């Protein structure tokens, strides 16, 4: 009898997770069909890759003229050029993720409220968690497509050297984490605000505070720490001369 009851109880415990996953897939499929319909998505992808390739080519030309003149060895110059191209492309993609991820999710729920379809979505058997995760996954799916499409272009740095494969993997993990984090911020304000315009303003204000604010705090802390250490280094050492009035010993701290 035990062998007959255990599978049934396991299926009952797994049923909510299976239903939530099915709801996420349903919401994500619905959103992706609307987002990928037409030629706009593919045109944007083509223009994005063309601009990224043009930017990488410009960085290559600038570094070729400056690095080769300072580094006599061709191997060192090639490795330095590869590192500079990798850093430039990664910084550009990070800036694009910072700007695009909140914009893709800032209207995910507020647009449903404006179209008066949020109540219809709420009465479906899909849970609230599945709706939120499905909205987040569908909004970031196109952004992840842009990130993945740039991997062959980023692989050009291996021709020059100076960049290991694990560096590229870590860089793309940072991009994916940044996209999920900032996309979650946009989705939060999309659920909080009633209008998409207000949600967008709140989202970008928060993103600006998280990016520029933390950068300013880090720079301020670094400058204050370095100035404190330099002031300690320039502080005059105490004199080690013995007093003239008596035969007092020299302090043990003096060398």
Residue 162 resides in a domain? yes
Q: Is residue 253 part of a domain?
A: no
**Residue 49 within any structural domain of the chain:** yes
Range of the domain at 127: 19-228
The residue ranking higher by pLDDT, 227 or 8, is: 227
Do the domain assignments include residue 2? no
In a domain, 3, yes or no: no
First to last CA, the chain: 86
DSSP 164: -
Please give the structure tokens belonging to residue 242. 């013995």
This prediction has a pTM of 0.71
Residue 143 lies in a domain: yes
- What is each CA distance from 148 to 122, 138, 142, 196, in whole angstroms? 33, 15, 10, 28
Neighbouring CB atoms inside 10 A of 135's CB total 24
Number of domain units in the chain: 1
pLDDT in tens, 186-214: 888 888 888 888 888 898 899 888 888 88
**Average confidence score pLDDT of the chain:** 76
In degrees and rounded to multiples of 5, residue 222 shows phi and psi of -65, -40
The whole-angstrom separation of Cα 196 and Cα 181 is 19
Q: What sign has the CA pseudo-torsion 185, 186, 188, 189?
A: positive
> pLDDT per residue over 1-40, tens digit each?
444 444 555 444 544 555 556 666 666 666 666 666 767 7
Tell me the C-alpha to C-alpha distance, in Å, between residue 239 and each of 185, 246, 251.
59, 16, 10
Is position 235 within any domain?
no
Q: Name the DSSP class of 133.
A: H
Has residue 250 been placed in a domain?
Answer: no
CB-based burial, 212-239: b 16+ in 10 Å, e otherwise? eeeeeeeeeeeeeeeeeeeeeeeeeeee
């Amino acid at each position: 009898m035990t062998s007959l009851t255990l599978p049934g109880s396991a299926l009952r415990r797994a049923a909510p997770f299976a239903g939530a996953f099915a709801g996420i897939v349903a919401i994500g499929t619905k959103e992706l069909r609307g987002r990928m319909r037409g030629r706009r998505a593919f045109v944007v992808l083509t223009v994005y890759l063309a601009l990224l390739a043009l930017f990488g080519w410009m960085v290559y030309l600038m570094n070729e003229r400056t690095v080769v003149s300072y580094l006599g060895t061709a191997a060192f110059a090639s490795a330095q050029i590869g590192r500079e191209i990798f850093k430039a492309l990664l910084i550009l993609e990070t800036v694009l993720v910072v700007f695009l991820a909140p914009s893709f999710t800032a209207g995910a729920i507020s647009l449903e409220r404006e179209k008066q379809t949020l109540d219809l979505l709420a009465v479906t058997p899909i849970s609230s968690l599945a709706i939120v995760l499905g909205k987040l996954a569908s909004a970031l799916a196109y952004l992840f497509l842009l990130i993945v499409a740039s991997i062959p272009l980023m692989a050009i740095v291996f021709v020059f050297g100076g960049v290991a494969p694990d560096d590229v993997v870590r860089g793309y993990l940072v991009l994916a984490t940044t996209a999920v984090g900032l996309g979650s911020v946009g989705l939060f304000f999309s659920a909080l605000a009633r209008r998409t315009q207000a949600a967008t303003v709140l989202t970008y204000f928060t993103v600006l505070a998280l990016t520029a604010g933390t950068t300013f705090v880090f720079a301020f802390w670094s400058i204050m720490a370095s100035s404190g250490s330099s002031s300690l280094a320039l502080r005059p050492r105490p004199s080690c001369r013995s007093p003239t009035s008596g035969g007092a010993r020299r302090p043990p701290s003096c060398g």
